[in-house]
A = this chain, B = another copy of it.
Amino acid sequence: MNLDLSEYKKDFPIFQRKVRGGNSLVYLDSAATSQKPTAVIEAESNFYRTINAAVHRGAHLLAEEASDAFEMSRSNVASFIGADSSEVVFTKSATESLNIIAYSLGNPDSRINIKSGDQIVVTEMEHHANLIPWQQLAKRTGASLSWLSFTEDGRIDLSNIKDVINSKTKIVAVTHQSNVFGTILPIDEISKAARAVGALVVLDACQSAPHFPINVKELDVDFLAFSGHKTLGPTGIGVLWGKHQLLEKLEPVVFGGSMVDSVTMTGATWASAPRKFEAGVPNMAQAVGLSAAIDYLRSIGLNNIAEYEHELTKYLLEGLASMSGIKVIGPLDLKDRGGVISFTVDGVHPHDVGQVLDQYGIAVRTGHHCAWPLMRKLKIAGTTRASFHLYNNREDIKQLIDGIEKVKSYFKVAK
């Protein structure tokens, strides 16, 4: 291996535990959620231990320090994705981020909004979080939902893009990297098609932001969402980024304290973005934890992480290719591909694959991975999915390959 990130694994306390059968933990489920380094866990607890107070409302020192820490986290997230601080909204999750955009665009008071007859475009490989909010927006407004499909090997099918993204299209909401196939989508081509018809582009960066460098300006998108918990950060925090001039045109979605400009019994006016999208006492400790996660990722280098995961992906794809009865669901080559590898084992249901692997301490995900329409299209019940982060290594992959052999022999599948 050219790049060696093995020194970092010790920063993640969970790897000190033993799992079923006294095995060491081989964690291959980072696409679901990532593990957390000590620096993140301590940033969150130190917030509580030293500066805990409600932000933005305070006339006292703790409130000032908490507000500072919260806003510093915002700047840090902004610089992580090449954005301005005023464009970063803290949410509870990527799911909430995507729902907020969909609700706000569905509000007739927003100065850009979706109307009956408009069209929303997604892809057939979206995670439910970037599909159902749009289905519901379409339902509420009388808009229609169309989608780009995918090819046999799990790449986006752009052959009919000019038909799908057409003059009626107002929103194109796509994933940056499929959480099933591992495919990285050609956002530039999709954005270009959207720009040509004046549609907004919403990017689900859940599987990209944690793994390789992204820059909202270079991506040329309008909104972007990702989760803290997949980015080595705490649970309970997500990010919504939107271009400032767009956020200013949108109505808020969650209403309450700290998001107003003025309130009477009969009505209220709003603060400017991002504040108007953050009602209530926010998830302050989690924002601070996410900021620590970003510092940690940057100290290693997102490019290094991407390269390292690329090598792990290569190694696993080669290993799986050498086995019989294994079908990779997604690209077999390494082009535009992240460290998420789905596969099926002939004659063994994914749930049973996962169960046997678990017995050897290997944690994978099985099922439809919240991309049920994708599975339906492939006519499969689900896949077994291995996904990486920087704390994985070749040994993990060896164990997985050995584990799959054990699955096959346990279920007496022909060698």
Chain A residues within 8 Å of B, Cβ to Cβ: 13-14, 17, 19-20, 25, 27, 29, 32-33, 35-36, 40-42, 44-45, 48-50, 52-54, 57-63, 92-96, 98-99, 124, 127-129, 131-133, 135-136, 145, 147, 227, 229, 234-237, 253-258, 260, 262-268, 279-286, 350-351, 354-355, 357-358, 362-367, 370, 372-373, 376
Contact = CB atoms under 8 A, between A and B. Distances in A.
Nearest to A20: B61
Contact of A14 (B52, B255, B268, B354): B52
B54 A33 contact: yes
Contacts of A373: 263-265
Given A20-B61, A254-B99, A367-B57, A280 B50 contact: no
A265 B124 CA distance: 7
Contacts of A265: 124, 131, 145, 147, 373
B57 A235 contact: no
Nearest to A34: B52
Given A29-B53, A265-B124, A255 B45 contact: no
Contacts of A41: 45, 48-49
Contacts of A135: 255, 266-268
A282 to B, nearest CB: 7
A116 to B, nearest CB: 16
A25 B62 contact: yes
Given A128-B255, A262-B372, 6 more contacts: A29-B58, A60-B363, A145-B266, A236-B282, A236-B285, A263-B373
Nearest to A140: B107
Contact of A60 (B29, B62, B257): B29
A54 B256 CA distance: 29
A129 B256 contact: yes
B59 A257 contact: no
Contact of A96 (B14, B280, B285): B280
A311 B92 CA distance: 38
B355 A59 contact: yes
A280 B91 CA distance: 12
Nearest to A253: B99
Nearest to A270: B132
B94 A280 contact: yes
Q: 5 closest pairs, A vs B, by CB? A: A95-B280, A236-B283, A59-B354, A129-B256, A257-B370
